[in-house]
A = this chain, B = another copy of it.
Amino acid sequence: MSGETHPSTHPPLPPTTEDDRVAWLRLLRSRRVGPGTFYRLLAEHGTAQAALAALPQVAQAAGVADYAPCPPGVVQAELRAARGFGAELICVGQAAYPAALYDLPDPPPMLWARGQLALLHRPAIALVGARNASSLGTRMSRVLAQGCGAAGFVVVSGLARGIDAAAHSAALPHGTIAVMAGGLDVTYPPEHQKLAQQIAAEGLLVSEQPMGLTPQARHFPRRNRLISGLAQAVVVVEAAARSGSLLTARMALDQGREVLAVPGHPFDARAAGSNMLLRDGARLVRNADDILETLPSHAAPAPSTSPAHGSPPPLRPQAHHTPRKTPHPLPKQHRPPLPGACAKPMRCTSKYCSASAPAPWPKIS
């Protein structure tokens, strides 16, 4: 036990030993432990080791019988796979951890990353959109990615077909981050193997999921919260009605990020989602300048001036995030609920639930 009165109002200290790190990962990979539960357990029990020891009892109290935490062997295998892949583990509270994610109600306690870690500390713009994009859409994605990149912004996307791939490719020379829905070593879609390798070399691959995990439908919304979370603004380049990009846009709004969209003619169904966002108040994008204009830190720092991995650990090294300038443009009834902090019922039956809790610690400004 830490003995602090309100331990949950401060970020946990990152693990300092290899044992700590393994215990953190075991706790995080334990069944029914999402980020919210992770932080509560850590705050209540002081260390991940203590939390792991208490976990079966906690589960029992929440009505879950026969509960066992994640076996050490599983975590050891994950660490081995990561070493083989050249991935690094970034823990919340460490200097390498992206400050932008502290805005989220459920920042991932640990992230796998491979590539240029310094990209996590540069201002970023997310470009998202349809997998089955039109040729206009992919062309626009390239133009915007190139323009944002040239202006010093990192382009964040999801490595999907269509808009995402076009954005990553065009932004490669300037810096791009692909947030993956599955394990860092599982390229999805498979045909983006070469693109993923390029990003791992020149850009950055990031995932909060265990190495080796094949992404399933439920992983994408959680991944999307990181795409918007890492960025100051989310631009929906092309999206049909009821597309995943709209969910990302709405999460972005709830995270206080700017939401922008590229219009299309109403007779083009592939623009129906973007037009809906525009009708609901998103800012209209015709070119990269339209994006850059909305951001306060228009003059983005050059990559070379970014804090490097291993520099002193400021919790919020750069206050480069845009507070939402206007009221939520989407009427309440149009906003889907955010994916819960924990994906399993424990969040509903346990005091360790964080689904409706505020951010685990107040913002340090």
Contacts and interface: CB of A to CB of B under 8 A. Distances in A.
Q: Which of A140, A266, A287 has the most CB of B within 10 A?
A: A266
Contact of A136 (B267, B278, B283): B267
Nearest to A262: B266
A268 B290 CA distance: 16
A345 B354 CA distance: 72
Contact of A265 (B136, B272, B283): B136
A284 B279 contact: yes
A262 B264 CA distance: 9
A94 interface: no
A31 interface: no
Contact of A268 (B139, B265, B284, B287): B265
A171 to B, nearest CB: 19
Nearest to A278: B284
A115 interface: no
A136 B279 CA distance: 20
B264 A287 contact: no
Contact of A264 (B140, B263, B279, B285): B263
A266 B265 contact: no
Given A136-B265, A266-B262, A279 B290 contact: yes
A265 B263 contact: yes
A273 to B, nearest CB: 11
Q: Which of A262, A263, A271, A275 has the most CB of B within 10 A?
A: A263
Contacts of A283: 279
Interface of A: 136, 139-140, 262-268, 271-272, 275, 278-279, 283-287, 290
19 contacts: A136-B265, A136-B267, A139-B267, A140-B267, A263-B265, A263-B266, A263-B271, A263-B278, A263-B284, A264-B264, A265-B268, A266-B286, A266-B287, A275-B284, A278-B278, A278-B284, A279-B283, A279-B284, A279-B290
